[in-house]
């Protein structure tokens, strides 16, 4: 349909790796990627099982010719199609362990990449990927979901504007409870049900890589703070499990602020309780993803102000990240779509031959810091929780 | 792109009437309509101003040949295109006053119709439209947004299952504050800024048709109750305004339950505060669109249970209306998309030559009841708030 | 102990009528009356059953000689004791039907009176009592509990300061659910369990007198608005019950504002859900007794400000009504104690021979308006819900 | 007044040390101590300044003869009065540094003691005090406020009943913001305004002793868990201050559960945010003192149940700790009064010559553990946050 159209007159074309039938995050990428009518997904290697890939592609109306058996094929064949027909970018939604090679493959085949987090399985891989991104000059976006929320952008603005005064403390919590159903599971059914508990698919970590990195990224996105050193306590309660299920991390930030990061996937009854509190000398800020459309500014002396998504006095970044007026709730898909939207701007800029720097989405650098955080936590936890310098 | 494909192997193709640049509800239809990857919008008469229609179409990557100057042209020309190329349905997102004629035009030209509420400007029009829908046999869906929420579907299920016992009372409130900025406006800038305050575009009502009908529909969707008689008090506080800005309606339902419906668009500081409480002999239910992902069951004796969207024990209709797991907020766009999704099922059924009855979306019958409610309220309010029999 | 002391050097001495073993409101009066160490209760006619009165008195360490068989005896004998030994005031905590005569008896015997609401059983009685209070010159305080809350006082201050602009709408709701346990009760056990459902003890009303008058009083305390006319719908769902269990009242205030008052004691699962919203042209206010220590100011344009009890910037009346710093919750007993505290100031002023006007507690005039409201509601409801002029 | 009465027929008589004009906690003790009409305060050494003590005593209607210049005098003179006239117990509400000697003095003079927390300034003192209590056989109660709340008692009951399954994690937070007003204070006005920042009055700690010990006690009261080892990070941000203002403590409990304790008095905008989350294999519990009348049970799979204070199905301890029906908020004073009420039961038992064990209030043993916790935290924080064995 778009063939022959100038790039500015057509939607972008996207490919998918992973995200076949039964996937949680695959559909989120698909919905977020098309929400604003800026792109369509048209090709994919949707599963490592070619048959499942095929069935998955049919379900979402892909041309069977563009449903591939594996991502290497896909990269090669798509690259051979003419511009305007071939995909412009690929979205990676597989388990962690495949991210690096898929990203490398598509970047080197000339495609822009949008990748789920954590970026890789190791810091070493992350550093390599950073180099590849630099060498290829392609856009690389990482979907740290929560930075896409309008009120998170407002929080970042308020911090950078100095409205909080000097920040002394950051408390970020991310409790979930979904792994607690295995706490009394001696049949070890989790081995097959949850790839994140399988070191071969998840890497040397579970929870700290699944949600700990979200928490670290959110705190850093809002405050800009870099971790100097950390002291971590990781635990596991599921019988037989070798990866982390929950942990607490004390943080010392460069510049003197303190941090506390608490994560869990065995906090029974918690759903997706990411929240952050930032305390400055002049006010405190509180954001909770469960009521993501609000941001609370806690003033000294008994006054608390709640700002609503879409309010006219919010910063531009926040307002632009909202698609609906005041009082009309937006959720995770819309936040995710904000990351896509910014990545699309960068991709279109790159396609026009312009600089694609400066757009508001997580980059490969964020991915490197994310992996440095994960590995530093693992080192501290493994060494009797010694204070450990943050890796770079 | 879809030409030549069998219907079951392709996305549906939609058209838009209204919803050009600057529209609030137009983009909601567009995003909701494509969210699940079931349809694309490809043609439109996006504004009554042909130049604006053209610019709007370009912005959303429509083929310029399918951006029409007016909806009559659009209906005629699209009808002349071959199946698989022409649109399958049209979405109507204009001011109220045009709904009837647009719907009639497209239905009679052989298209399915998805229409924003209130359905028409008068009950007489609504009745006529019901006949046209019956005669043409086309799918007609009405976007009463809030019936699309997963937890509203759960509430409906709990009521129909008898879990509440006998229901004695329904309290539904819909306070907004966005018109309050005109309360001290002697320049009457609202005349040009707000079509809903202009009788020529809105009909004989403002608030009762904009949000009152949502409130009535929500209560009816959940309880199934029909209004026997009502006593309404409507008010206007903006200087010079002739339409209603807020009101209270006492309701007597057939079967003996009592109702209270309260709406306002001059409740300063309220955003979009739709909420409903349903009191039965065994429990009370509470739902608030501001925290739409939860439903509270108020038990006697000091226990309140909150159910979360996506929970495994919810009814099927509720679970299917949720795209994400527990704790991942979904908002208005997703609720809207649920109405579209059900309408698409009906449209595909109709295209297969099967019955398109029994899907879970508001129909032309709901639209007739909605207009009957609006006119009954106007009659009661105009007659010194006498108890007035509900029109049929 | 206090004998011989000058009045200013001693606690006040109080008597109790009603409030024996098993009473709900009796202990509230006792706790509230002594909380600040300003008074002790030392005498009482605690039950209409002399034996129960005696047992009740023993339980609370009263001198048996001052536990009376009936209130006439009590008034007479206490009056014969010397000042400093005899009670200074009496608190009336019996069913409604006795209030008038008890109050009359003690006022005419020279005592100050603190009385529970509703003040009397009829408007005629209320007017008579107003005369008696005027003739005797004694202090008469009525315990409309909710006016004692610090944040209600702040709301009143904000309204009277003009911070809300012109007020157009007041919505006050008071849902309770405790009568719903009788909704399927064919044994009519409520006849003996609940004196409020017995016309001989409660008067011609149940809910409207028990909580409707609280709602009306709260709205009036905050706004100062007087009702011009009202349209009421009262209902009863308990089989066999002749009194009201719930109702909705549309209000037109003198000056043009609209009101909506909704009360119920059969709203299953509601506990004590009194709340009020006041909408002005510049902001809305929201207070809910369930989170009584906060007051929310809803600003236009997506900003909501919550003020906490005890904050330094609150009005003096609010700050003085709080005994604890920010963040330390106070409840019903403390609110009640604030009414007592103001009444004690008035009583001490009277004892010093000074004017006892101008203190911040509900008076006999509030009691007359309360009864006028109740009777007006009954008239409207009985006359097919006609708009009815408020009695005076 | 009570002279000559048998003990069971009279109120208890209490004395006060500290709590003169301007005190925060003094009035709380006074109000809590008399709320239920079980006792009166009749004597005191209300300030270390004899003149202020006198003025304070007059204000609260004490007989001037029983307002003492210092607590030694008070203990001696009260001890010389006849039973029924002399005080039965004393309440200690002074800065920490005096607690030990005052408690010792009164215990040895034959009085029961109710003491504010932390119990002493050092663990050594605490151990000594434990011996003295044992030797004298007197009742010693420690006012860990939050254990008095009805819903905290319900939480304890649910844990001990096994309803949570195996508990893996306890998260207790106590953020306050009141010290943040000194964060930019170079004039060091806090030196004179806040005795807790003065090591001579507060001991070697500020925040950890003021609120950290509340947090530890609350977690222990509910779970019964004992700390095996801890890792603490304490911080100070106020220029010139030598004591702790905030900190995070990682906990390993005996038995294998993990804990996280976070406290602060420089969290700008926080008021009194004590809250606790307890995660078991079957459910999570959440209690927040800001909405103290509720307890939330977080079930797996998207269901959360909120229990209200006063509900009929709560455990007996919880129901007895509530003075009002469902929906009628009770606050800090009532919680405090519950500790007093249990202490009074023990005191009356002791006066009857019966055992005074087994009542539900914090004892000298809790005080010893509290001081052991404080000192362990200080040791860990001072040693580069090494994991430190909990002292005993």
| pLDDT greater than 50 at residue D1 | no
**C-beta separation of B253 from B389 below 8 A:** no
Mean pLDDT of C76-98: 96
Write out the residues of chain C at the interface with chain B, using a CB-CB cutoff of 8 A: 165-166, 168-169, 171, 175, 177, 180-181, 183-184, 231, 233, 235, 237, 246, 248, 250, 258, 260, 262, 264, 266-271, 277, 279-284, 297-300, 302, 304, 384-385, 387
**Shortest CB distance from D302 goes to which of B302, B304, B310?**
B310
Residue C338 CA to residue C361 CA, distance in Å, equals 8
Nearest to C301 among A305, A309, A311 (CB): A311
Residue D226: how many other CB atoms lie within 10 Å: 12
Number of H helices, E strands in chain C: 13, 14
Least reliable range by pLDDT among A293-307, D220-234, D376-390: D376-390
Partner-chain contact C305 A305, CB within 8 Å? yes
Instruction: Determine the average pLDDT of the residues in C71-75.
Output: 97
Judge: C305–A304 Cβ closer than 8 Å, yes or no.
Answer: yes
Across residues B244-257, what is the average pLDDT?
97
pLDDT at C4 over 90: no
Of D231, D248, D281, the CB nearest to A268: D281
Q: Are D255 and D235 in contact (CB under 8 A)?
A: no
- The whole-number pLDDT of residue A2 equals 43
Contacts of D332 in chain C (CB under 8 A): 324, 328-330
Whether residue C147 is predicted with pLDDT greater than 80 in this model: the reply is yes
Confidence of residue D384 (pLDDT cuts 50, 70, 90): confident
Q: Please state the rounded mean pLDDT for residues C377-385.
A: 90
State the pLDDT confidence band at C1, using cuts at 50, 70 and 90. very low
Report the SS3 class of residue D168.
strand
pLDDT band per the 50, 70, 90 thresholds, residue B386: confident
Q: Quick one: what percent of chain D has pLDDT higher than 90?
A: 92
Cβ of A330 within 8 Å of Cβ of B333? The answer is yes
Q: How is residue C331 written in tokens?
A: 């409840």
Q: What are the pLDDT digits (tens) for C257-277?
A: 999 999 999 999 999 999 999
User: Nearest-CA residue of chain D relative to A259?
Assistant: D248
Give alpha helix (H) positions in B8-69.
25-34, 50-59
A332 vs B contacts (CB less than 8 Å): 324, 328-330
Domains of chain D: 7-146+340-363 (3.40.50.720), 149-324+370-389 (3.30.360.10)
For D63-92, what is the mean pLDDT? 96
Q: Is pLDDT at B2 greater than 60 in this prediction?
A: no
Distance from CA of A313 to the nearest CA of B (A): 14
pLDDT computed for residue C219 by the predictor: 98
The pLDDT score that the predictor gives to residue A8 is: 74
Question: What is the model's pLDDT at position B392?
Answer: 86
Two tokens, residue B359: 């899907």
Phi and psi based region of residue B19 (left: phi greater than 0; alpha: psi -120 to 50; beta: remaining): left
Mind listing the pLDDT tens digit for each residue in D235-289? 999 999 999 999 999 999 999 999 999 999 999 999 999 999 999 999 999 999 9
**What pLDDT is recorded for position B9?**
82
Cα–Cα dist B14/B113, whole Å: 10
Closest CB from C302, C303, C326 relative to A302: C326
Residues C42 and C66: beta-carbon distance below 8 Å? yes
Q: What tokens appear for B146 in the block?
A: 């809030």
Interface partners of chain C (CB pairs < 8 Å, 3 or more) are: A, B, D
For B280-298, write each residue's pLDDT tens digit: 999 999 999 999 999 999 9
Quick check: B301 and D312 CB within 8 A? yes
CB of A119 closer than 8 Å to CB of A97: no
Give the contacts of C353 (CB within 8 A, at least 6 positions apart): none
Helices marked H in chain C — which ranges?
Answer: 25-34, 50-59, 71-79, 96-108, 123-136, 150-160, 190-193, 199-202, 207, 213-223, 316-320, 332-351, 364-382
Q: How much is the pLDDT for C50?
A: 92
Give me the torsion for CA of B155, B161, B164, B165, rounded to 10°: 160
Largest interatomic CA distance in chain B: 65
Q: What is the mean pLDDT of chain B?
A: 95
Q: D150-184 as b/e, with b when 16 or more CB fall inside 10 Å?
A: bbbbbbbbbbeeeebeebbbbbbbbbbbbbbbbbe
A154-A157-A162 Cα angle (round to 5): 130
Q: Which two tokens stand for residue B101?
A: 């004629």
pLDDT confidence band for C392 (50 / 70 / 90): confident
Q: What is the pLDDT of residue D5?
A: 60
- The pLDDT-based confidence of B5 (bands split at 50, 70, 90) is low
For testing the chain D interface, which of B291, B299, B303, B308 should be mutated: the one with the most D CBs within 10 Å? B303
pLDDT band, very low/low/confident/very high, at A1 (cuts 50, 70, 90): very low
**Chain B residue whose CA is closest to D308:** B302
Please state whether beta strands D167-175 and D227-235 pair in parallel, antiparallel, or not at all (unpaired): unpaired
Residue C3: the pLDDT is 45
| pTM of the complete model | 0.96
User: Residue D8: its pLDDT value, please?
Assistant: 74
Confirm if B256 and B281 have CB atoms less than 8 A apart: no
By C-alpha distance, the chain B residue nearest A1 is: B1
Q: For C9-62, how does the pLDDT look when each residue is reduced to its tens digit (9 = 90+)?
A: 899 999 999 999 989 899 999 999 999 999 999 999 999 999 999 999 999 999
Predicted confidence at residue A392, as pLDDT, reads 85
Q: What confidence score (pLDDT) does residue C5 get?
A: 60
Please give the ipTM for the structure prediction: 0.95
* Average of per-residue pLDDT across C133-160: 98
Instruction: For residue A317, name the pLDDT band (cuts at 50, 70, 90).
Output: very high
> For residue range C275-334, what is the model confidence (pLDDT) as tens digits?
999 999 999 999 999 999 999 999 998 999 999 999 999 999 999 999 999 999 999 999
């Amino acid at each position: 349909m778009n063939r022959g159209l100038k790039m500015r007159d057509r939607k972008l074309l996207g490919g998918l790796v992973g995200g076949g039938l039964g996937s949680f995050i695959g559909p989120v990428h698909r919905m977020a990627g098309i929400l604003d009518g800026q792109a369509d997904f048209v090709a994919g290697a949707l599963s490592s099982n070619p048959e499942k890939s095929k069935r998955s592609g049919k379900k979402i109306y892909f041309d069977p010719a563009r449903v591939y058996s594996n991502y290497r094929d896909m990269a090669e064949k798509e690259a051979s199609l003419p511009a305007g027909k071939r995909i412009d970018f690929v979205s990676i939604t597989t388990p962690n362990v495949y991210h690096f090679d898929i990203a490398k493959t598509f970047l080197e085949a000339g495609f822009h990449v949008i990748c789920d987090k954590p970026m890789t399985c190791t810091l070493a891989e992350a550093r390599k990927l950073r180099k590849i991104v630099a060498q290829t000059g392609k856009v690389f976006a990482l979907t740290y979901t929560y930075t896409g929320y309008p009120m998170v952008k407002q929080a970042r603005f308020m911090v950078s504007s100095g409205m909080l005064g000097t920040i002394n403390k950051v408390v970020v919590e991310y409790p979930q409870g979904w792994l607690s159903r295995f706490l009394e599971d001696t049949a070890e059914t989790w081995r097959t049900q949850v790839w994140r508990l399988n070191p071969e698919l998840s890497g040397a970590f579970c929870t700290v890589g699944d949600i700990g990195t979200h928490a670290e990224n959110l705190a850093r996105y809002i405050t800009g703070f870099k971790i100097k050193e950390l002291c971590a306590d990781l635990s596991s309660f599921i019988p037989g499990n070798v990866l982390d299920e929950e942990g607490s991390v004390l943080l010392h930030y460069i510049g003197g602020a303190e941090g506390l990061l608490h994560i869990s996937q065995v906090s029974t009854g918690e759903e997706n309780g990411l929240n952050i509190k930032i305390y400055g000398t002049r006010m405190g800020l509180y954001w909770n993803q469960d009521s993501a459309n609000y941001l609370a500014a806690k003033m000294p002396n008994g006054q608390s102000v709640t700002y609503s998504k879409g309010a006219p006095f919010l910063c531009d970044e926040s307002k632009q990240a909202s698609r609906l007026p005041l009082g009309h709730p937006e959720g995770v898909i819309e936040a995710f779509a904000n990351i896509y939207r910014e990545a699309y701007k960068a991709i279109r800029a790159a396609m026009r031959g312009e600089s694609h720097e400066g757009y508001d989405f997580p980059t490969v650098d964020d991915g490197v810091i994310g992996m440095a955080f994960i590995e530093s936590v693992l080192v501290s936890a493994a060494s009797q929780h010694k204070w450990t310098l943050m890796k770079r």
